[in-house]
Amino acid sequence: MLDDFMLRATLAGLAVALATGPLGCFVVWRRMAYFGDATAHAAILGVALALGFQISIFIGTMVVALVMAMIVSVLAGRGWAMDTTLGVLAHSALAFGLVAVSFLPAVRVDLSAYLFGDILAVSRFDLAVIATGSFLVLGLILWRWAALLTATLNEDLAHASGINPGHERLVLTLALAVVVAVALKIVGALLIAALLIIPAAAARNFARSPESMALGAIIIGGLSVWGGLQLSLLQDTPSGPSIVVFAAMIFLVTTIAGTVLQKRSGR
Amino acid sequence: MSLISAVGLGVSYGGRKVLFDIDFQLERGEIVTIVGPNGSGKTTFLRALLGVVAPSRGRVTRAKGVSVGYVPQRLHIDPGLPLPVSRFLSLPKRRSTSEIATVLERVGVPDVARQNMATLSGGQFQRVLLARALLVKPDILMLDEPTAGLDQPGVASFYRLIDEVRREIGCAVLSVSHDLHVVMSASDRVICINGHVCCEGAPHVVRAAPEYRALFGLGTGGALALYQHSHDHEHDHDHNHDHEEDHAHHAG
């Protein structure tokens, strides 16, 4: 069982889509796109450290992503505009990571696998870790759903309802770090944010409620994984970017369809 | 025992004292209005009572089991978030369809349950916010400039609604407001804040207080004085509509 690399790749991708769908919605609703980028780019530094200290890549990327997310949270709103802070951090993290990897002469590192993903090389062990991480994130978000949504809407309103918005922010930060660690293998550090944002944005075009948008994002993410893998197999294109290309096409189609439908219903 | 009280409350942001030495109690069923110029710390005071900002001095005590219905000043909903009214009212706690229908009926917007929040008019939006606050069966209704952005008739009818609701459920109402002429006359107590409590008391006492005049006398000047003049003459009549036109006329 699970001998076929395509089957493993597809399952791993679908598992990640379960987590990136709802998390991506929060990234869109809370305008955390750049935040996701900064956290994901930091993963390369995590890879370098993991290889250097000979620890699991999953652990290395998750820890560094988490530290990065914490730094961003602390620095947010101090002195610089948010997008400047995040721009500095996102690109610095990537550059530091790339330089750090070059200090590892003993290991022949295939950098492109970490930058753009290597979903076709998912082993059984990888699959187990990816599935566990994805289900953990999905479970966490489902458990906190109402509180997360309330805190996203308005922090004062959340407080008045007995919800601590700080806790909910922490939940999302944790979820993001885990997603970065498990999605690294699927689409790579450069495109993790795309996997979060594009399916959610595409789902927004027809969603009528937060729940239907999250579900739509999961389905679109899953379709993108499947379509991207087929494209990659048939045309020998890089798998990670192929998945994102597929997602982008779905976004385009739903945007056009959404606009047409809206015009027809006269709104 | 008071529903909520503050003793020696002070709040600072980055070394700047926004509020200091505030003592405050709210009793059951009371209507209290907080007035003050922009930047006087009114909203901060409300947020300190809500527990959003931690006091840097003193403390805020809320009686056990007191529920607070909060109507924020503004609620920006990201266009990326599709949110039907019924879903908004079910956050964070699920409410039944009939509960939602009843409360929407009560606030005078019975047909919006399935509408997206983004498509509501300003007046409908405020009423939906009020509906959400009412769903918790509040002992205290806290309103932060709830009528900002509404036109004069809208403001008047919103406050009439608040007044009706208060009579029905007997909650205390604590509001922060700029709409002095509408709110003050309906209040048991007015607290004028400018970092600290400048003056407080029954509306007519505050209105006559030199501290209040010093803060508001010049700013809103003639319009307010004229309005209060006409109001003093017919305070027992319910001539709301005339009042607004009267006021609008003088203000213009």
The residue with greater pLDDT, B205 or A59, is A59
User: Cβ(B127)–Cβ(B113) under 8 Å?
Assistant: no
Q: What pLDDT, on the 0 to 100 scale, is given for residue A108?
A: 64
Domain spans, chain B: 4-67+137-251
Residue A87 has pLDDT above 50, yes or no: yes
Whether omega for the bond prior to residue B92 falls within 30 degrees of 0, making it cis, is: yes
Q: What pLDDT, on the 0 to 100 scale, is given for residue B105?
A: 92
- pLDDT, tens digit, 9 for 90 and up, residues A194-221: 999 999 999 999 999 999 999 999 999 9
What type of residue sits at position A240? G
Q: What is the DSSP string of B100-120?
A: HHHHHHHTT-TT-TTSBGGGS
Q: What is the DSSP string of A245-256?
A: HHHHHHHHHHHH
Q: How far is A192 from chain B (nearest CA, A)?
A: 20
Residue B244 has pLDDT above 50, yes or no: no
Mean pLDDT to the nearest integer, A49-72: 88
Is the CB of B50 less than 8 angstroms away from the CB of A159? yes
User: Cβ(A118)–Cβ(A5) under 8 Å?
Assistant: no
Percent of chain B past pLDDT 70, that is, above it, reads: 83
Name the residue with tokens 């003459």: B233
Q: What pLDDT, on the 0 to 100 scale, is given for residue A107?
A: 59
* B142/A contact by beta carbon, under 8 A: yes
Residues of B in contact with A204 (CB under 8 A): 80, 82
Dist. CA B72–CA A261, nearest whole Å? 34
Q: Which of residues 50-89 of A touch B (CB under 8 A)?
A: none
Q: What pLDDT, on the 0 to 100 scale, is given for residue B51?
A: 86
* B220/A contact by beta carbon, under 8 A: no
Residue B239 has pLDDT above 70, yes or no: no
> Which H/E stretch holds residue A263?
helix A239-264
B202 — pLDDT class (breaks 50, 70, 90): confident
Dist. CA A73–CA A67, nearest whole Å? 10
Mean pLDDT to the nearest integer, A233-238: 91
A33 — pLDDT class (breaks 50, 70, 90): confident
Q: What pLDDT, on the 0 to 100 scale, is given for residue A79?
A: 65
ipTM of the complex: 0.85
Q: What pLDDT, on the 0 to 100 scale, is given for residue A35?
A: 83
* A204/B contact by beta carbon, under 8 A: yes
Residue B240 has pLDDT above 60, yes or no: no
Mean pLDDT to the nearest integer, B117-132: 91
Q: How many residues does chain A have?
A: 267
Which residues have C-beta within 8 Å of that of residue B229, sequence separation ≥ 6? none
Is the CB of B92 less than 8 angstroms away from the CB of A149? yes
What phi-psi label fits residue B247: left (phi over 0), alpha (psi between -120 and 50 degrees) or beta? alpha
Question: Tokens in use for B159?
Answer: 């406050």
Residue B177 has pLDDT above 70, yes or no: yes
Domain spans, chain A: 5-193
Residue A235 has pLDDT above 50, yes or no: yes
Residues of A in contact with B47 (CB under 8 A): 156
Mean pLDDT to the nearest integer, A11-21: 95
Q: What pLDDT, on the 0 to 100 scale, is given for residue B194?
A: 87
Question: Tokens in use for B38?
Answer: 């922009």
Question: A5-193 belongs to which CATH class?
Answer: mainly alpha
Q: What is the DSSP string of B229-244?
A: HHHHHTTTS--HHHHH
Q: What pLDDT, on the 0 to 100 scale, is given for residue B236?
A: 42
The residue with greater pLDDT, B103 or A111, is B103
Query: Which candidate from A29, A147, A161 shows the least CB-CB separation from B80?
Result: A29
User: Cβ(A151)–Cβ(A163) under 8 Å?
Assistant: yes
Question: B4-67+137-251 belongs to which CATH class?
Answer: alpha beta
B251 — pLDDT class (breaks 50, 70, 90): very low
Q: How far is A202 from chain B (nearest CA, A)?
A: 10
- Classified as helix, coil or strand, A121 is helix
Q: What pLDDT, on the 0 to 100 scale, is given for residue B87?
A: 94
Residue B161 exposed, middle or buried by CB count within 10 Å (0-12, 13-18, 19+): middle
Mean pLDDT to the nearest integer, B213-228: 51
Query: Which candidate from A160, A200, A212 shows the least CB-CB separation from B50?
Result: A160
pTM higher than 0.80 for the full model?
Answer: yes
* B55/A contact by beta carbon, under 8 A: no
Four-point Cα dihedral B117, B121, B127, B132, nearest 10: 10
Tell which residue, B250, B194, B191, B206, has the closest CA to residue B34: B191
A178 — pLDDT class (breaks 50, 70, 90): very high
Q: What pLDDT, on the 0 to 100 scale, is given for residue B149?
A: 76
CA quadruple A39, A198, A195, A148: dihedral sign: positive
